[in-house]
Amino acid sequence: MRFTKPATSFEEQVQLLESRGMDIPDKKAAIHYLSHLNYYRLGAYWLPFESDHDTHQFHSGVTFDDVLNLYVFDRELRLLVLDAIERIEVSIRTQWAYHMAHQHGAHSHLNPALSNNKWHQGNLRSLKKELARSDEVFVHHYNNTYTEPAEVPPIWAACEVMSLGLLSRWNKSLKPAKTRSAIAKTYKLPVNVMISFVEHLAYVRNICAHHSRLWNRRMTKTMQIPHSRQLGLSQNFNTDNIAQRKLYNTLVMLAYLMDIVCPDHHWRSRLKELLSEHHIDVLMMGFPENWEELPIWQ
């Protein structure tokens, strides 16, 4: 089937939404938002308000402001999630570099014996590309001062130019059990859970960094849930099959790790205030019905 839909003006987009049952009392404001936010982008936020997805008819009483409220919430949610990811990412970089350097040497990231052979060369190529693109002073200082090992500074410096995705791959391919355990012990997590979450975190960060819809997204890269009740952590997760692909479990782990990385944070209360301010249906995010009673949210 050939695509034949014509482009529509902002005024026509407002008329189309009204014809489908959306209440738009301030058409001038709606045109303004559509001219800066893109009809197609906002479409992901009015889907929950449709009574019929085939005809795109809206439930009675749905307003343009309802859609805009959801869009603004998702934007603020992404910024809040990114705030936590930044702190946790910096912490993981620090722990990875520290234990690698102290157990295996300043340039241990160059040692193929410490990594799964399938990953090492690819990880090293990626790191060299990121170093070559970097304009960090410490990279230029190393290259201008030292000749060996060429182009690759010590691990405590090299980790600072790594993307979270590359750090995740390097962490996942790490062989020595003692080093893996030492990193995970910082966060009081099993090694497999820690590795899984860092990989998941890189995926979620990319969603946020590309300004994509987050709040009710169905995740393609999930995380492994810790099952040990030793920390009292496992009881906070939603183990429902559908919910495990939603954002809630990610938020649980972010709140848990923020308590370790930044004990005096207000991230948890900021999240609860954001949900309340925008009157969000948290069940669509994978929250269990009794979520506010769970220990992690106290």
Instruction: Tell me which amino acid residue 146 is.
Output: Y
Whether residue 1 lies inside any domain: the answer is no
C-alpha closest to that of 189 among 150, 223, 222, 163: 223
Query: Within a domain: residue 5?
Result: no
158 in any annotated domain: yes
Q: Are residues 52 and 195 in the same domain?
A: no
Query: Which one has a higher pLDDT value, 22 or 141?
Result: 22
Check residue 230 and give its pLDDT: 58
One-character DSSP codes across 241-252: TTGGGSSHHHHH
Asked if 161 and 26 sit in the same domain, the reply is no
pLDDT at 232: 78
> Do both 55 and 83 map to the same domain?
no
Q: Please report the pLDDT score of residue 229 as a whole number.
A: 63
Are residues 58 and 202 part of one domain?
A: no
Same domain assignment for residues 105 and 195: yes
Q: Are residues 126 and 48 in the same domain?
A: no
Please enumerate in sequence order all residues whose Cβ is within 8 A of that of 295, keeping only pairs 6 or more positions apart, or say none.
232, 235, 236
Domain carrying residue 18: 10-62
pTM for the model stands at: 0.93
The answer to the question of residue 16 being in a domain is yes
Q: Over the stretch 223-267, which tens digit does the pLDDT of each residue have?
A: 999 887 656 799 999 999 999 999 999 999 999 999 999 998 999
Give the count of domains, the chain: 2
Are residues 32 and 152 located together in one domain of the fold?
no
Mean pLDDT of 143-160: 87
Q: Does 285 map to a domain?
A: yes
Regarding whether 27 and 85 lie in a shared domain, the answer is no
pLDDT digits (tens, 9 = 90+) for 169-211: 999 999 999 999 999 999 999 999 999 999 999 999 999 999 9
Question: Would 226 be classed as within a structural domain?
Answer: yes
pLDDT band at 69 (very low <50, low <70, confident <90, very high): very high
CB atoms within 10 A of CB 298: 7
